[in-house]
Amino acid sequence: MNRIGRAFVNYMIKGLLIVLPIALSVFIVVWGVTTVDSWLNVNNILGIDPNTDTSRNIPGLGLALVILIILTAGIFVTYFVTEPMYNWFQRILNRLPILKFIYSSIKDLTEAFVGDEKKFNTPVIVEVEGDMKRIGFLTQSDLTSIGLPGESIVYFPFSYSFAGQVYVVKNEKIKLLEMSAADAMKLVVSGGVTHF
């Protein structure tokens, strides 16, 4: 390949490295907003026929409404829901097996990322096979209660996904990483290509 061809390929690659992440980020945000807007269509809520002159389409209103509902719920729970009310709600949920399973799973996952007791805040590296190691997050460090003393639970997220696998690992195979949880998650989810 001649010099002009190499320069062309080099510039194309550098351009893609700049444009692609920005374009994908914008696409995902726009897709999310339009999806929420379609779920919470103002015309449907107000009972307006979308084919008339009174029809309104306000982009982003559905997303704003979702943010407002979540914010209002947070304020309500912070200032008006007491511990006995919360415990009463939990007892009711515990009597409904399917709803209890769904609610507790979603609640645990949400609290793992954004709650007061974040679970993915201890990045570790684990020796898995021979000299191979995997980066994960220590989620429970004492399994004595289930008959596994000296073992821990480590969550390994998949690259380019928020799915992952859970392993029970001997403590001596776990080493704490000297990096923030956010940097470790970014490193794993990006497939190891991110720089920090």
Residue 42 has a pLDDT of 66
Residue 178 has a pLDDT of 83
- Give domain status of residue 152, yes or no: yes
Q: How many domains does the chain have?
A: 1
Query: How are beta strands 164-170 and 174-176 bridged, if at all?
Result: unpaired
Residue 53 has a pLDDT of 62
- Give domain status of residue 165, yes or no: yes
Strands (DSSP E) along the chain, which ranges? 123-129, 132-140, 151-157, 164-170, 174-176
d(CA 138, CA 123): 6
Residue 169 has a pLDDT of 81
- Give domain status of residue 129, yes or no: yes
Which among 184, 186, 148 is positioned nearest to 167, based on CA atoms? 148
- Give domain status of residue 151, yes or no: yes
State the amino acid at position 159 in one-letter form: S
Q: At what angle do helices 3-39 and 61-79 cross, to 10 degrees?
A: 60
Strands of 132-140's sheet in order across: 164-170, 151-157, 132-140, 123-129, 174-176
- Give domain status of residue 135, yes or no: yes
- Residuewise pLDDT in 10s, the chain (196 residues): 688 888 888 788 777 777 777 787 788 878 877 787 777 766 666 666 667 666 566 777 777 877 888 888 888 888 887 778 878 888 887 788 777 777 777 777 666 666 666 667 788 888 888 778 888 888 878 778 878 888 888 888 776 666 777 778 888 888 888 888 777 877 777 666 566 5
- Give domain status of residue 82, yes or no: no
Q: What range does the domain containing 150 cover?
A: 123-189
- Give domain status of residue 167, yes or no: yes
Enter the tokens of residue 162.
């928020």
pTM beyond 0.85, yes or no: no
d(CA 118, CA 154): 14
- Give domain status of residue 117, yes or no: no
Locus of tokens 């007061």? 116
Residue 148 has a pLDDT of 80
d(CA 140, CA 148): 12
Do residues 170 and 153 lie in contact, with contact meaning Cβ atoms separated by under 8 Å?
Answer: no
State the amino acid at position 164 in one-letter form: G
Residue 135 has a pLDDT of 84
